[in-house]
Structures are given as structure tokens and as C-alpha cells.
Structure 1
Amino acid sequence: MSTGVFRRILVPVASESDAHATATAVRPILNGDGGTGIFVYVVEKAGGAPDKASVEQQETYAQKLFDGVHTVLEGQGLSYETDVLYGTDIGEAIIEGAHAHQANGIAFTPRGGSRWLKLLTGDVTETLVSSSDLPVIVLPEADSASGTRSPR
């Protein structure tokens, strides 16, 4: 049983490179805390408009991301789970997913993107930091080779 702050921490991933970087960055938290990481991918639903890809394609893509997480955490003796979430607002789906999984925190590495893109599509980081009623940890991306934090 974990005695640290985060017994169950939700960890969203968005792409193959992000899954690898985020799993690497969150590994010390899981290792030092003895908690469980719940790695999730959000399938963004279009809310009445045609979706970007079929649900089956998105779920297959999610499995590729989870394979990357497994590669990083395999053999480390760490506890983790994976799940696919669905929603029209990614940030809100992550927060709702954290509650559904009884997580007591959310940890992620911020994704790149221009200010214009964030303005037009919404900023998941902003939603998580400003709307979550759970603690949110924004992790610097870890260097996959050494496991150390990369400067930004």
C-alpha cells in the first residue's frame, strides 16, 4: 500500500513519442511512491460532426501508445493500468476519467504547439490546471536515454 501523496495517479498520453516521454517522466513518482499509474488516451468525439477517425482506429492507436508505456515500465516492478476515455473536450474527459478511476492526482508532460493552435483548438494544459479539483503535476519531459529531466 502506498504511503505517499499519490496512491493512484492518472497519466494522459497523446502520441507514441508522448507516451514514451511521459512514462519515462512519471516513472520516478511511481517508483518512489509505490502508487499506481493509470495511463489513458482520450478519443476526441466530434459532438455531432463526423469524427476524425473511426472509434476502432482510435482504439487501435491507443493500444500502440500503451505498448510504448509498457516498454518503458516493463520489468520495473511498478503498478500501472491503461484505459481509453471518450469525450468532446479532452481536458474535461481527463478530469472525469481521474474521478472514475478514483485517482487522487493527474500527472502529464505538456505537449508542444503554437499559441495560435492552442487558441483555436483549446488548451488541455489550461483546462487541467484551472479546472481540475484534483492535484495536477506538470512534469518536465525526461530524456529517455538517461532518465534525467530535459531543460526547456
Structure 2
Amino acid sequence: MTRTFTETVVIPLASPKDAKRTADAVVPYLDPPPDHVLAITVVEKTPSGIDKAPLEQMSDRAEETLGIVAERFDEAGVPIETRVLYGENVIETILDAAQEADASSIVMMPRNASRWVKLLSGDTALSLMMNTDRPLIVVPDPERAD
């Protein structure tokens, strides 16, 4: 069976700002819309139990992130499913979601971060690229196209 890049698309999102930028970058490429679009955001849980912020606060931010992307996709007439996921490793959680959804691709827009931030926290795009078993489609930031 032949697959296309846009049968089932998984879009990982990091924050409300990222949701706006990613939706603006991705939507123009979805004509015709994929069969299934799944937007996810990962609430990172640390194994030691000491998290960056209270779980309720992180969950609320995740819901806000997904609400923004859902609204933007709805305005464009592209059906979308959203999910908040919880995991100790963001990359593994994204890859597990893609496998569970039988995604034909993962679509993302790289986030702006300094070299120091990438060094200390890791580069999500690079980690996904190095560990995925399916196509990773990176869309350009529309703000940089000017």
C-alpha cells in the first residue's frame, strides 16, 4: 500500500505562541486537508517528581496551546484532533503518539532558541530527526519569509 505524507499528520506543539506560529506555517500546506491531523502537546513529568511548574498549571497551558491551534485550523476548514500527553521524555512521547496514530508524517516548525538553550535543553527538531521512524516535515516560519 502506498502512503502519502499527509494521510495522518502529527503536529507537536510547545506553547501557545508556538501554536499560533505553527498553525500559520502549516495551514497553507494542507490543501487538500489530510485524512487526519493530530495536534499534541507534551506535559513533561520528571522522574524525581519535582516538576518545573505545578501539574495543574502545565495542564492548563497545554489546553490553551491546543485550543489556539484548534481554532486556527477550524477557521481554515481543516478538521483537527487535539491531545494533551504526559511523559518523562518529550521526544519519546511525541514518537509514541506518532506510532499510536500510525502517522504518515510528523510536521513541525523549529522553535527559536539560542545555542545555549539548545545545548542545555536539547534541540527537539534534531532529536526528532535522529530518532523518528517516519518522515519529519519541517515547515518554514512565515515570519522569516519576509
TM-score scaled by structure 2? 0.88
Give the whole-Å Cα distance in 1 for the aligned partners of 2:77 and 2:57. 31
Partner amino acid for 2:21? A
Give the whole-Å Cα distance in 1 for the aligned partners of 2:56 and 2:101. 23
123 and 75 in structure 1: CA distance in 2 versus 1, 3 angstrom threshold: closer
- Once the two structures are TM-superposed, the CA of residue 139 in structure 1 deviates from its matched residue by 0.7
What residue in structure 1 maps to residue 83 of structure 2?
83
Is contact 1:14-1:41 (8 Å) kept? yes
What residue in structure 2 maps to residue 43 of structure 1?
43
Show CA shifts across 1:10-41 (max 9, x none): 10111111101111211133333433221111
Is contact 2:70-2:82 (8 Å) kept? no
- Which deviates more, 3-12 or 116-125? 3-12
Partner amino acid for 1:52? K
What residue in structure 2 maps to residue 66 of structure 1?
66
- Once the two structures are TM-superposed, the CA of residue 51 in structure 1 deviates from its matched residue by 0.8
Show CA shifts across 1:40-89 (max 9, x none): 11111111140112222212111111121122122432121100112222
Q: Percent identity among equivalent residues?
A: 35
Question: Which runs of no fewer than 5 residues in structure 2 stay unpaired?
Answer: none
What residue in structure 2 maps to residue 147 of structure 1?
none
Partner amino acid for 1:35? D
What residue in structure 1 maps to residue 145 of structure 2?
151
1:2-151 → structure 2 map (5 Å cutoff): 4-143=4-143, 150-151=144-145
Is contact 1:91-1:125 (8 Å) kept? no
Partner amino acid for 2:145? P
Question: Which runs of no fewer than 5 residues in structure 1 stay unpaired?
Answer: 144-149
Partner amino acid for 2:36? T
Q: How many equivalent residue pairs?
A: 144
* Structure 1 residue matching 2:40: 3-state secondary structure: strand
TM-score scaled by structure 1? 0.85
Give the whole-Å Cα distance in 1 for the aligned partners of 2:44 and 2:7. 27
Is contact 2:129-2:136 (8 Å) kept? yes
- Once the two structures are TM-superposed, the CA of residue 142 in structure 1 deviates from its matched residue by 2.4
* Structure 2 residue matching 1:74: 3-state secondary structure: helix
TM superposition outliers: structure 1 runs of 4+ over 4 Å: none
CA RMSD of aligned residues (A): 1.9
* Structure 1 residue matching 2:80: 3-state secondary structure: strand
